[in-house]
Chain A
Amino acid sequence: MTATLAPDRTATAVERQFATFYVGHMLLGVDIRIVQEINRQNEITQVPHAPDYVRGVINLRGDVATVVDLRTILGLPKSDSDRQSRNLIVHHQGEAIGLLVDRISDILTLRGDEITPPPTNVDGVDGRLMSGVCTLESEIVVLLDIDAVLADGARQE
């Protein structure tokens, strides 16, 4: 587990940036430092016998990267990718992994004290997948604990 990804619960004044995106109606965010790139790739090669949350693999400039379906991990119903769906490529444990999201939103800068610990669940999504939540004017941003999101899958294997 990479230390940099652990939620920073102690700092209050330190500002952190999050890339936010929608999966279903949920606005989610991940620490921007682990985001390598965002691309739009519809040529995903299916991987037989892969866990159900794995959408497939893509050619990421000569490397083969796994694409996981955030919907499945979060326990939301599956949907086909559409024109707005994107691959959010994160760098995690030495490997580039694509998170399939429905729509990309903004980059959000948050102070530590704006982030509150996650409740046990948000809209049916297990709180253990979150590192915190932040209430904006009109909606809530759920900050994902990327270790939990990607490791959870590993356990299912």
Chain B
Amino acid sequence: MAIEDPELLAEFIAESRDHLSHVEGQLLQIEANGAEIDVDLVNNLFRGIHSIKGAAGFLGLVTVNKLAHSLENVLGLMRTRELSPDSAMVDVMLRAADALTHLVNNADVSNDADVEVHVTKLDRIFASADGSLVGVSAASVKIEEHAHHGLRHATAADFVEEAMFVDSAIEDDSPATGPIDADESLPCAESSAASGPAVTNAPLVDEPKTASNAAIQAPPVAETSIRVQVGVLDSLMNLAGELVLGRNQLIQALNTEAHVGIEAVASRLDQVTTELQEAIMRTRMQPIGAVFSKFPRVVRDLSAKLGKQCDVVMDGKEVDVDKTILEAIGDPLTHLVRNSIDHGVERPDVRVAANKPAAGTIHLKAYHEAGKVRIDIADDGGGIYPEKLKKKAVEKGVVTAEQASRLSDREAVRLIFHPGFSTAEKITDVSGRGVGMDVVRTNIEKLGGTVDVDSTPGQGTTIQITLPLTLAIIPSLIIQSGDERFAIPQVNISELVRLRREEMGKRLDRVKSAEVLRLRGSLLPLVRLREVLGFQTPEGSDGESDAQATTNIIVVESGQQRFGIVVDALHDSEEIVVKPLGRHIKNAPCLSGATILGDGHVALILDVAGIAVHEQIRSAHDDVIAGKGEEQSAGEEDLQSVLLFTNHPREHFAVSMDIVARIERISSDQIDAVGGQELVQYRQSSVPLLRLENLISARAPEPQNWVYVIVFVINGKEVGLIAPRLEDIRRVPTNVDTITFQELGIQGSLTMSEHTTRLVDLFQIAEIAHPEWFADRPQPSVEAGKKPLVLLAEDSTFFRKQVKSMAEERGYDVVDCEDGLVAWERLLEGDLEVDVVITDIEMPNLNGFELCQRIKQSKWGYLPVIALTSLAGASDMQRGMEVGIDDYQIKMDREKLLAALHNFTGAKAGNNRRHLQPA
């Protein structure tokens, strides 16, 4: 037989059995559902079979691989609802599953088994539904080929040869990965087989009992014993002694009148308990090398199979993790490594053409970080192209085109973790059926870990996994909802938000039916734990917790979901010991276990991911939030991005990001001074530089060797503002204080991180420095001494003032309105001879689109409408076109806005008036 690595084989068998143990029930359920296909159920089964297929392929178990492949094909059709299961099909599948179980249980001889009858039947079902092209005959021909013995023997021979390459890692002490790595463990394995729980699947007992065969019969023995270093045991013994001593002292202290010294004893016991706990945890710790050691083989075999060259580098083999985690992480890691080879590393010719070494490198790295274990899987392959992914995602219906257009590159790359997603151009048996990354993510999250991806197109991809050190004890926050207390694992908690009663109106909002929290410029979906858990809300309250003075919100993260949970009260942070739930309730959707609190009460542990699923955070809220995110301006909470910098280290400034063209870092000696004007050479042109301290009342910065230059464009010409130190880019509210600092060049002030920050008006400071640049600016055509009239609808006071003063400065009359409805009513009054309308998009009562639509459908239909947005999104533009918006301008870009105003009023103003006269 082909498999020379009993450790891997034993793992494969244990794992496959685990999958297969559910198959029968799942198939029967599928049959019961009939045409009402439960996609999740089929998916589950599909993944199980897919895992078996993949592992079998890798181990050279061709027959298992083939049978699983055929089974998977059929399931694949059911999963996409192309095939509706009936009893006859399920019958075939059940028999095939039985055969598969049989093969797995006798994996070492499985390659000689004959499963053609099952394969043929399955393929016939597949072909019958898969369309006319792959007829039954074609399928049979394929089978004939497969059945050809030569092929099988060749494969087997290959594996024998390859087996020579397996490094001696198998000899390592790795009790977690199976007890039978060598012949001498035979007695042990046999005895466990005999004394262990009943052997369930043993249809082929007449085989000779080789070492591996004995292992096959045994249930997963790996879990029942563990190797512990004597040193650890010694320290356990010591600690137990200390504990006894502590107890004796405690009893002694209790026997005295005044309980003398009881505090000292308590603190000693506390210490011993902590140490004991740590020592016991150590016994469960195993080096991650046990899992890593199988990867050289995986990489080698797979890259050979795919015609690629690939090296593997491993760091941190000695990093210890909890045994349970170690056992659970093997699968996801293997999948990720295989994925890196299959999708990441390019073919040698492609690599050479891209100036890379022909052989790719996969770098596995484990290390401790902030009390957790990090595992990075980095390849130097082709990387992930966000645009390509987005396109795929849209094609597959994972996201809508609109959603895709809003995704940042990083978010786009994360799409690979989405269920049903795969970028593989063709289906291979390595990866690329759309199972995989989502399973990986689910599995890792089940362990309380997270997974993320970082990719640079053309240079490679890194998958980062973060895992807790142990699953047995988890730091948690105890919270209350209704009368019950619950634990939320700290790993899921990103922050706590407490809203005072008077803030609630401002910070809480509803989008469609979903509740959201405004948090630093983004909208966070909210769920109320009472409602999630189905508790009664107290009488007299309508669920908005009016009765309470404050609202406590726990911002949690799970995978890519981030949302807020409203709880009734916060209690302490505790290290809790996780207890499993009984079988009647272990499927409760929002719970992951239970724990016993210090006072003896049971508290349930909330499963954040489960809550997200239960509340459909992903689907429902995502849409809502994405839709909402674009408006960015509702009421006074209007937000803009600003670049924060300091001039003098103690003087903070901000400029609106909307008008920043780019930011350069230059060395101070690159600055030339010509005729009193500082310049920097940039791409064959010279950019004039401005210094704040010369233009407004600001202190000069300390001398530096290099500075940043904020480049912006005025009248098509680039101008730079020297910003000695950049601090941050942040989204801030636009309700800027315009009173405190009234100076030309300053729009107002904000308080940020306890610093008063002045918002710089780049255009004004440019004008202060060089009034001549603005000399030839367009002036509105004044008709018979009458200034053109602008109707301005803008709900943000700050922007309204800005736009108004700017337009008035340039010779326009402005009628400003707080929202679209006010503007519309003002227009209806009929006494205004409006020449142009400027409107914000997102406004209460009547938004910009609706306002424009009303105007365009009225007798004022000729009026040009300019829309102001903080960010011009494509979907906005589209919508705007539909309702007849004539132009889009970015709020802070005054020069462009003025140019647009000029365009619309200059040529058209006269005509417009004439139209108006009859009215």
Residues of chain A at the chain B interface (Cβ within 8 Å): 43, 45-51, 53-54, 57-59, 62-66, 68, 93, 95, 97, 150, 153-154, 157
Contact = CB atoms under 8 A, between A and B. Distances in A.
B415 interface: no
A149 to B, nearest CB: 11
Contacts of A154: 583-584
Contacts of B596: 59, 62, 64
B716 interface: no
Given A47-B591, A48-B533, A57-B594, A157 B602 contact: no
B594 A157 contact: no
B484 interface: yes
Interface in B573-628: 579-585, 587-591, 594-596, 600-604, 614
Contacts of B535: 48
A129 to B, nearest CB: 16
A157 B584 contact: yes
B540 interface: no
Given A48-B591, A57-B594, 19 more contacts: A43-B600, A45-B594, A45-B603, A46-B484, A47-B604, A48-B590, A49-B589, A49-B590, A49-B614, A50-B588, A53-B584, A59-B596, A59-B601, A59-B602, A64-B595, A64-B596, A64-B602, A95-B582, A153-B584
Contact of A93 (B532, B583, B590, B594): B583
23 contacts: A43-B600, A43-B601, A45-B602, A47-B588, A48-B533, A48-B534, A48-B588, A49-B534, A49-B591, A49-B614, A51-B584, A51-B585, A54-B585, A57-B585, A57-B604, A59-B596, A66-B581, A66-B583, A95-B583, A97-B582, A150-B584, A157-B584, A157-B587
Interface in B551-592: 579-585, 587-591
A124 B484 CA distance: 35
What are the 5 A-B residue pairs with the smallest beta carbon separation, nearest first?
A: A66-B582, A48-B533, A45-B602, A64-B594, A64-B579
A47 B534 CA distance: 10
Q: Which of A45, A153, A154 has the most CB of B within 10 A?
A: A45
B584 A68 contact: yes
A63 B579 contact: yes
Contacts of B587: 157
Interface size bracket, B side: 20 to 34
A93 B281 CA distance: 28
A45 B595 CA distance: 11
A45 B600 contact: no
Nearest to B534: A48
A77 to B, nearest CB: 20
A91 to B, nearest CB: 12
Contacts of A58: 602
Nearest to A97: B582
A95 B588 CA distance: 17
Contacts of A153: 584
A156 to B, nearest CB: 9
Contacts of B589: 49
Interface string B381-409: 00000000000000000000000000000
Contacts of B533: 48-49
Nearest to B594: A64
Contacts of A59: 596, 600-602
Nearest to A58: B602
A93 B590 CA distance: 24
Given A47-B591, A49-B533, A66 B585 contact: yes
Interface of B: 483-484, 532-535, 579-585, 587-591, 594-596, 600-604, 614
A59 B598 CA distance: 12
Contacts, number: 77
Residue picked from A54, A58, A62, A66, most chain B C-beta under 10 Å: A66
A38 B316 CA distance: 52
Nearest to A153: B584
Contacts of A97: 582, 584
Contacts of B588: 47-50
Contacts of B483: 46
Contacts of A66: 581-585
Contacts of B534: 48-49
Nearest to A68: B584
Contacts of A45: 484, 594, 601-604
B601 A50 contact: no
A64 B603 CA distance: 10
Contacts of A48: 532-535, 588, 590-591, 604
Contacts of B590: 48-49
A48 B604 CA distance: 9
A62 B601 CA distance: 10
A34 to B, nearest CB: 15
B580 A64 contact: yes
Contacts of B581: 47, 57, 64, 66
Nearest to B593: A64
A45 B591 CA distance: 13
Contacts of A65: 582
Nearest to A62: B596
Nearest to B529: A48
Nearest to A57: B602
A97 B589 CA distance: 21
Most buried by B among A45, A48, A49, A64: A48
For A50, A54, A97, which residue has the most chain B Cβ atoms within 10 angstroms?
A50
B157 to A, nearest CB: 47
Nearest to B600: A59
Contacts of A43: 600-601
Contacts of A46: 483-484
Contact of B584 (A54, A62, A63, A64): A54
Nearest to B581: A64
B806 to A, nearest CB: 56
B306 to A, nearest CB: 44
A157 B581 CA distance: 14
A109 to B, nearest CB: 31
Nearest to A47: B585
Q: Which of B532, B596, B600, B614 has the most CB of A within 10 A?
A: B596
A62 B576 CA distance: 12
Contacts of B585: 47, 50-51, 54, 57, 66
A123 to B, nearest CB: 25
A53 B614 CA distance: 21
A53 B884 CA distance: 61
A54 B589 CA distance: 15
A53 B584 CA distance: 9
Given A57-B602, A57-B604, A50 B584 contact: yes
A57 B584 CA distance: 11
Nearest to A49: B588
A66 B581 CA distance: 8
A58 B582 CA distance: 11
A66 B483 CA distance: 19
Contacts of A157: 584, 587
Contacts of B601: 43, 45, 59
Contacts of A49: 533-534, 588-591, 614
A43 B599 CA distance: 11
A68 B582 CA distance: 11
Nearest to A98: B582
Nearest to A43: B601
B204 to A, nearest CB: 26
Contacts of A95: 582-583
A95 B581 CA distance: 10
A64 B582 contact: yes
Contacts of A47: 581, 585, 588, 591, 604
A65 B581 CA distance: 7
A59 B599 CA distance: 11
Contacts of A64: 579-582, 594-596, 602
Contacts of A51: 584-585
Contacts of B603: 45
Nearest to A56: B602
A46 B604 CA distance: 9
Contacts of A54: 584-585
